[in-house]
Amino acid sequence: MVNLKNKYVRVTGIRDDKFIEFDFSIDYPEIFVELVLPIEMFQTFCTNNNVKILDAENDTQAEHDRMQWRIGDVKKNIINSD
């Protein structure tokens, strides 16, 4: 069950000093949508959604989680190929 209270933002870039590129996720930081908003709207978006900003430490954990999914897929493919 998805917990709609856990919302995450990972800033991925800035365009022309006017727009923020970011990933937005709910409950699972490794599953996200890519969004772009003007800086002022980004700040409002984050406030309205009460997001947690993911930092380098969180990125490391999210990458670890992604790798676990990939390893599981590889193991599944190896087992099923016999």
| pTM reported for the whole predicted model | 0.66
Q: Strands 52-53 and 7-15, how do they pair? A: parallel
Query: For the chain, which residues score pLDDT lower than 70?
Result: 1-3, 56-82
**Domain residue extents for the chain:** 7-80
Show the DSSP H helices in 1-82 as ranges: 39-49, 56-80
The tens digit of pLDDT for each residue in 33-49 reads: 999 999 999 999 999 99
How open is the CA angle 63-65-42, to the nearest 5 degrees? 60
